[in-house]
Amino acid sequence: MNKVNNALEEKASDLIADMLAKQLEKQIDRYWEELTREAVRQDSIDRAQKGDTSYVEASEAVSRYLSGMNRTADVPDAYVFNWRFDCVMGTGKEDDESVFYYSDAQPVFAIEQEDKGDINLIVIDLDKDIMVMFKEDQKGVKTAQALPNMMHYAGRVAAQTMDSVMNNYHIRRGNKQKTIAGYSCQQYLAEDDEHTYEIYVAPELKNVWKETYGSFMQRFTSLDYQDEFNKVEGMAMESIATSKKNKKDVNTFEVTKVGHEDIKIQKSDYQFPTQ
């Protein structure tokens, strides 16, 4: 699940840079730690009742536990996305390419990454409150799994800590403009206790952001965050986060290409676990 966690963290970083992402990453990690412990505990109880005392890897216990959370029945026949954003995230040591998808009509967004030849697409469905993980391996075999939206659970904890984080976070409109992936972008500057941020957003694309990912973030962020969020008019196209303690510690995000075209993910094309 690290790939999923990383992808969600990186997407969280593209508007208010990675300040919020670092907080969310902690909450996601906490959620999966708790889920793993509960899965192992429940698996031990179930097997003990059957007289089975053999050792089982945590990953196997989690797999069985998640199978009981199967939400395949809630997955619609198809997801249709209208926007594609090709992006590059960097830490100064290596770059990571991802693709983000948005819909004009559905409250959904998706993150696509390639891992050793496999294509992984994670769809966050705000309407159904589920996370659907689609995968096409190197041989073209397509599988998928639908689970309760883990960010929803992580958000319950994140909301409790966000107010204190936002007390020392401020954002303001800058004086610079530049063109990124064909869109005119406005500079915003921000900082918190640990980082400074330079962010460029495209006002022309503001509805794409706020109608999908923006509404998702508002479900579990504080009012202080939302006030700061509302100062930004547009879709984040580039961000640079620099550590105040070490100026060489820099995290970057940049949209390299934007496509406005229909992309359909058909449920019937993928093999889901049986219920």
pLDDT lower than 70: segments of the chain: 1-35, 62-68, 92, 150-169, 209-230, 275
163-197 confidence digits (pLDDT tens): 555 556 678 899 999 999 999 999 999 887 888 88
82-99 confidence digits (pLDDT tens): 999 999 988 767 788 889
Task: Locate the domains of the chain by residue range.
Answer: 2-37+69-269
Q: Write down the pLDDT at residue 74.
A: 92
CA distance 206 to 102: 12
Q: Write down the pLDDT at residue 238.
A: 92
Q: Write down the pLDDT at residue 212.
A: 58
> % helix / strand / coil in the chain, to the nearest 5?
35, 40, 25
Q: Write down the pLDDT at residue 121.
A: 94
Q: Write down the pLDDT at residue 15.
A: 35
CA distance 192 to 13: 14
Burial of 190 (0-12, 13-18, 19+ CB in 10 A): buried
* DSSP label of 54: -
